[in-house]
Amino acid sequence: MPLYAAYASNLDARQMARRAPHSPLRHTGWLPGWRLTFGGEQLGWDGSLATVVEDELSQVFVALYDLAEMDEPDLDRWEGMPLGLYRKVRVRVESLFGEQLAWLYVLNDYEGGLPSARYLGMVAESAESAGAPDDYVKELRNRPCS
């Protein structure tokens, strides 16, 4: 079963249970060499959208889900794949169980713009619910927003 690495609001296991009910949370980890950012302000209905970009000095907290084949099309629709908003990228995630190959969604647009305060708060709450370290959640909460 392929691993899906969630990094924004999909860090919330309750949300993922609704979006991909046959795909259990396996554990959490870190995506080294990537940075959480926002982009595509003109694409989102509520400001910029979460994405990740390569950055050798950064890392992103992720939740790894065993994504069931039957859940993948629904998750793709939630993430705007049919609209061309996101594409799938394979990445290496570091966890307590070693390095694991997973995939995630990356925005098909340039970095920039501000997320809404509501969306940023949702991302921070999702990270907190997934067990992200306090300093990671604090950094999310202190980001600029619209």
Q: Under a CB-based contact definition with an 8 Å cutoff, are residues 11 and 53 in contact?
A: no
CA separation for the pair 68, 57 (Å, rounded): 32
Q: Which residues are annotated binding-site positions for substrate?
A: 4-9, 119
Q: Which residues are catalytic?
A: 79
Transcribe 45-91 into DSSP letters. Answer: BTBPEEEEEEEEEEEEEEEEEE--TTTHHHHHHHTTGGGTSEEEEEE
